[in-house]
Amino acid sequence: METLGLLADGFWLAIQPINLMLIIIGVTLGLFIGAMPGLGSVNGVAILLPITFLVPPASAIIFLAAIYYGAMYGGAISSITLGIPGASTAVATTFDGRPLAMSGRASLALITAALASFAGGTVSNVLFTLFAPPLASVALNFGPPEIFALMLLAFATFIGLSSDDISKTVFSICIGLVFAAVGFDQISGAPRLVFFDISGFLHGINFLVLAIGVYGIGEMLWTIDSTRGKITTSEAKMSVKGIVTDAKEGMARSWRGTTIGSFLGFFVGILPAAGATPGSLMSYGVSKMLSRESAQFGKGHPEGVAAPEAANNSASTGSMLPMLTLGIPGSPTTAILLGGMVIWGLVPGPRLFAEQPEFVWGLIGSFYVSNFFALLINIAFIPLFIWMLRMPFTILAPLIFVLSIVGGYATTRDMHDVWLIVGFGFAAFFMRKLDYPLAPAVLAIVLGPIAEPTLRQSLLLSSGDPTIFFTRPVAGPITIIALILIFLPLIKKVWDRRGGRRPSAAE
C-alpha cells in the first residue's frame, strides 16, 4: 500500500501543467528524433540536455525521459517505412517490418509496433515500480560468465532454429564477429584487424553505420533490382476501420512476441552496459524460436515486429533501474541522464529513494504518463508515415540514399564511415542475391563487443577453465540450453537419416 501511495504522489507530480507539457513535447520530439536515421535517443538527449537547465531538476529529468520514450517508439517508423533503422534499437524491427510495408501492410506493422511498445513500456513500468531494489541487486550479481551465457543463447537461437541454410547462417555470424573485432582490443589495447592500415578502422566499425548500410542502401538496391525499376508507389492504404482491423490482427498474431519482448527486454535492460539493442535482438530470436510460424519470420510476420519493439521499450525503462538504484547506467542514454542528474545535484544510488522520494516517484509516475502519450501521438501520426510510402519510388530511392548517408555521417562525423555505409550496402545486396541471411551478421556485430570481453574475463577468473560456464548456478543452465540449440540441426540430421534407414532395414 505504501508503494501505491508513493506512486499516486508521483502521478500527481507528473501531471502538473509544466511537467505534462514537457512530457508531450518530449515524447513528440523523441518520436521524430528516433525516426531520423543516425540520431536516436542518445543524440537526442545529449543535444537537448542544455535546454533542461531552464526548468527545475525534477521537470528536467522527466522531459529527458520522455524524449527517451518517444525515441524508442520512433525508431520503428523509418525501419518500417524506409527500411532504414532510425536507431540501433530498431534494427530487429526492420527484419519483418519492412517486408510488411513492401507488401502493402505498413499500417499493420506500424500499429503492431505502437501497441507492442505500449505493452512493453507498461510491463516494465509495473516491474520497475514493484521490484526495483531486488531486481537491481540481481542484475549486479550477473558476472561475466552469466552475461556471456546470455550472448551465446542469442547466437544459438539463430543457429538452431533458423529456416535458412545453417552453414550460411554460421558464416554470416562469423562475418559479423570479425567486423565487431575491428579496432582496439578492449582488454590489451592493441590494434587489430586494421584493414590495409587505414586509420579510420582504428575506432572500430560503428554498429549503426553497418545497420544503415545493410538496411538502407542494401534495401534500396534490392528493391531496384527485384522490381527492375517498375515499382512506382507502395500499395499502403489507411482508414479508421483499417486501423481497428489491423490493431485486432496485430494483437492476435503477436501477443506471444509482445509478452516475450516485454519481460526479456526489461531483464536485459537492467544488466549494466547491455541496453535495448541486445534486448530487442534477443527477443526477436527467442520469439522466432518459440513461434509455430518461425518460417514466416523475416518475410513479414507481425510477431517479428512486436517482439523487438516491446523489448526496446521495456529495456529503456529497465536501464533506468540500475542508474537510479545503483548509480550504474544501463545504456548510453542513461549514462547521459546520469551525468545530468549529477549536474543537478542529485546523487543516484540506494539512498536516492530515501533522500529524494518526490523526485524518484515523480520520475516513475512520468514513465506511465509518457508511455500513454507516446502511444496516442504515434497512432495520430501513422497517416503521415503511410503517406511517405505513397511517394513514387523515383523520389523515395534518392531520399533513402541521402538519409542513409547523412544519418551515417551524423553518427561519427567521419567520411570513412560514409564509404563504409556504401560498401556495406553493396555487400548486403550481394549477400541477399546469394541467399545469405543478414540478421545473424547484424546480431553478431551488436553482441560481439559484449560477448568477447565477458568470455575473456570469465576465463581469467577461472584460470582458463571453461567449466566456469557450467558450474555456476545461473550460467550453467543457460549455457546448456544454448549448446543444445547450436547442435540441434546436427541432431535433427542424424535423426532423419536414422528414420530414413528403418524401412529399408525392415524390408
pLDDT band at 345 (very low <50, low <70, confident <90, very high): confident
Least confident of 28-42, 131-145, 316-330: 131-145
CA distance 167 to 155: 14
CA distance 144 to 479: 13
| pLDDT 10s digits, 176-215 | 889 888 988 877 788 888 888 888 888 888 777 887 788 7
Query: Which cell is 427 given?
Result: 555487400
| pLDDT 10s digits, 50-78 | 777 777 877 888 888 888 888 888 888 88
pLDDT computed for residue 94 by the predictor: 87
Q: pTM value? A: 0.75
Average pLDDT over residues 33-48: 72
CA distance 265 to 24: 25
Counting residues of the chain whose pLDDT is more than 90, the rounded percentage is 7
Average pLDDT over residues 475-486: 87
pLDDT computed for residue 45 by the predictor: 77
Computed over every residue of the chain, the mean pLDDT equals 80
SS3 92: helix
Instruction: Give the CA count within 13 Å in the CB-facing half-sphere of 324.
Output: 27
| pLDDT 10s digits, 271-299 | 765 667 788 888 888 888 888 887 788 88
| pLDDT 10s digits, 235-282 | 555 556 667 787 788 788 888 889 999 999 888 887 765 667 788 888
SS3 194: coil
CA distance 167 to 143: 32
Least confident of 23-32, 150-159, 418-427: 150-159
Question: Minimal CA–CA distance to 257: which of 327, 214, 304, 321?
Answer: 304
For the cut 50, the answer to whether the pLDDT of residue 505 exceeds it is no
Q: Alpha-carbon dihedral of residues 150, 151, 155, 157, nearest 10 degrees?
A: 20
CA distance 476 to 234: 49
pLDDT computed for residue 99 by the predictor: 87
For the cut 70, the answer to whether the pLDDT of residue 137 exceeds it is no
Greater model confidence, 207 or 300: 300
Greater model confidence, 434 or 235: 434
User: How would you label 238-269 residue by residue, b for 16+ Cβ within 10 Å and e otherwise?
Assistant: beeeebeebbeebbebbbebbbbbbbbbbbbb
| Helix orientation angle between 106-140 and 2-14, rounded to the nearest 10 degrees | 130
CA distance 108 to 100: 8
pLDDT computed for residue 116 by the predictor: 92
For the cut 60, the answer to whether the pLDDT of residue 234 exceeds it is no
pLDDT band at 142 (very low <50, low <70, confident <90, very high): confident
Beta carbons of 468 and 145 less than 8 angstroms apart? yes
pLDDT computed for residue 263 by the predictor: 92
CA distances from 181 to 150, 197, 402 (A): 19, 15, 28
Question: Minimal CA–CA distance to 375: which of 125, 131, 132, 52?
Answer: 125
CA distance 300 to 125: 29
For the cut 70, the answer to whether the pLDDT of residue 230 exceeds it is no
SS3 183: strand
For the cut 70, the answer to whether the pLDDT of residue 39 exceeds it is no
For the cut 50, the answer to whether the pLDDT of residue 232 exceeds it is no
The full set of domain ranges for the chain reads 2-233+241-499
Neighbour count for residue 435 (Cβ, 10 Å): 9
CA distance 217 to 35: 17
Q: Alpha-carbon dihedral of residues 383, 83, 65, 287, nearest 10 degrees?
A: 100
For the cut 70, the answer to whether the pLDDT of residue 472 exceeds it is yes
For the cut 60, the answer to whether the pLDDT of residue 161 exceeds it is no
* Residues whose CB is less than 8 angstroms from the CB of residue 440 and which lie 6 or more positions away in sequence, other chains included: 155, 158, 159, 162, 169, 170, 172, 173, 176
37: which DSSP letter? Answer: T
For the cut 60, the answer to whether the pLDDT of residue 501 exceeds it is no
pLDDT computed for residue 322 by the predictor: 76
Greater model confidence, 415 or 234: 415
pLDDT computed for residue 118 by the predictor: 92
CA distance 424 to 355: 50
Q: Which secondary-structure segment (H or E) carries 214?
A: none
Residue with cell 575473456: 456
pLDDT computed for residue 262 by the predictor: 92
Most confident listed range (2-6, 238-242, 328-332, 446-450): 446-450
Phi, then psi, of 165 in degrees rounded to 5: -60, 125
pLDDT computed for residue 160 by the predictor: 61
Residue 191 pairs in a beta bridge with 184
